[in-house]
């Protein structure tokens, strides 16, 4: 894993080669008390339980196998560079349940360099995380993008 001292912004071709990179993945148990706290903090009805769509993202990213800093480092970035959340799409095949353990697998699904008139060079990286229930069935997927500003990179 890259460290903060050896980060290098990938070239366009190196960026494209990162598509298909798997996440380390992991498992997480969706604890009932945590579900209640999350829903309460969102002022959502706690009767919704873990069926609320926000849990797909929270569970997936908590068990993706990388910290956010480690994920950013894969793309030659750090938090201080200002990466931003882009688009998100959530697919629920089977609602998540409290007191169940989920296994997360995922991969980088897209990576593209762009240039904006006012923003300059930036990369948009897409990733998908799939959540599997204890019985092995695919419960849900979340596909998201991260925008990496590339200050100092020539267009």
CA–CA gap between residue 32 and residue 19 (Å, rounded): 35
In the predicted model, what is the mean pLDDT of residues 60-83? 95
Both tokens of 62, joined, read: 């908590």
Which is higher by pLDDT, 2 or 93? Answer: 93
Residue corresponding to tokens 């948009």: 124
CB contact at 8 A, 141 and 129: yes
- What pLDDT score was predicted for residue 118? 85
Residue corresponding to tokens 């009805």: 45
pLDDT of residue 103 exceeding 60, the answer is yes
- What pLDDT score was predicted for residue 151? 86
Range of lowest pLDDT (12-16, 26-30, 51-55, 59-63): 51-55
* Dihedral sign of CA atoms 66, 72, 78, 84 in order: negative
pTM of the model: 0.91
pLDDT cut 90: percent of the chain above it: 81
């Amino acid at each position: 894993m890259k460290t903060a001292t050896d980060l290098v912004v990938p070239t366009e071709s190196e960026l494209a080669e990162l598509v298909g990179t798997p996440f380390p993945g992991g498992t997480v148990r969706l604890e009932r008390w945590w579900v209640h706290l999350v829903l309460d903090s969102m002022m959502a009805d706690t009767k919704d339980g873990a069926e609320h769509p926000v849990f797909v993202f929270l569970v997936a990213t908590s068990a993706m196998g990388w910290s956010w800093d480690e994920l950013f480092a894969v793309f030659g970035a750090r938090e201080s560079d200002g990466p931003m959340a882009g688009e998100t799409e959530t697919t629920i095949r089977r609602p998540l349940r409290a007191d169940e353990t989920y296994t997360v697998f995922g991969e980088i699904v897209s990576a593209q360099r762009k240039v904006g008139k006012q923003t300059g060079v930036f990369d948009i990286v897409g990733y998908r995380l799939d959540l599997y229930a204890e019985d092995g069935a695919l419960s849900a997927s979340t596909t998201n993008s991260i925008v990496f500003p590339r200050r100092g990179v020539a267009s």
